[in-house]
Amino acid sequence: MLNKSSLLFLKDLAQHNNKEWFAENRGRYESAKSDLETLVDYLITNVGRFEDLGNIRPKDCIFRINRDIRFSKNKDPYKSFLSAAIGPGGRNSGRIDYYVHIQPHGESFLGGGMWEATPAQLNKFRQEVDYNAHQLKTIIENPVFRAFFPLVWGEKLKTAPKGYPKDHPEIDLLQRKQLFFMHKFTDEEVIAPGFPDRVIEGIQLLKPYTDFLNYVFFDEEEEQD
């Protein structure tokens, strides 16, 4: 569903990341953006068959290509990738969603999980792991899940978090500050006809994990009110 021309545009943008070049090639950008919108619309329709996404539209999910350079040493004005967050409320919901990243040279991926958790959310996560690690491990250690998501990204503490012993049986999970799972796609896979359905397959596998995190971070507290 994505065209080769969209990846070529991103490759060229990475080499000519300035406003003048972008202005001259805006038509190519608009074509790539339209490509992404078509993909995201397909994902919304089909993910909506097994998860309530509300009334979101592609524009609610797609991130701007402009970079925020105010506090960055890298002053490139544009991202060299296209991206979107699929989930209830779109990219600004604050909840755990499914992240789709399109970038040439085999850097495209589908990912999801705990990435920028607040201290309060980390405390909730660790309490849940301490109380009932089995539920989480059943999801993320499932052979089918791990076969699709072999890459685990994220920072860890070097020692046990405060309040937990160093010899805790779930010390690896307790040390996690981030627990984000990824499946990378080659450029050939991204432009293949079956790519959208492959992404949906991955989202279905991620859903129990995102449901777990959203419950622990948000819904469990609401139920107690």
Dihedral of alpha carbons 198, 49, 82, 147, sign: negative
- Using CA atoms, how far residue 1 sits from 6, 37, 85, 188, in Å, is 11, 10, 18, 12
How many angstroms separate the CA atoms of 81 and 62, rounded? 11
Residue indicated by tokens 């202005």: 23
- The domain that holds 82 is classified in CATH as 3.30.930
Distances (CA, A) of 116 to 72, 120, 121, 122, 191: 18, 11, 9, 9, 30
Q: How many domains does the chain have?
A: 1
Please state the pTM of the whole predicted model: 0.95
For 154, the domain range is 4-224
For the stretch 179-214, pLDDT in tens is 999 999 999 999 999 999 999 999 999 999 999 999
Tens digit of each residue's pLDDT (9 = 90 or more) over 55-103: 999 999 999 999 998 888 889 999 999 999 999 999 999 999 999 999 9
The C-alpha atoms of residue 99 and residue 25 are separated, in whole angstroms, by 26
Tokens of 104: 């040439």
- Which DSSP symbol is given to 160? P
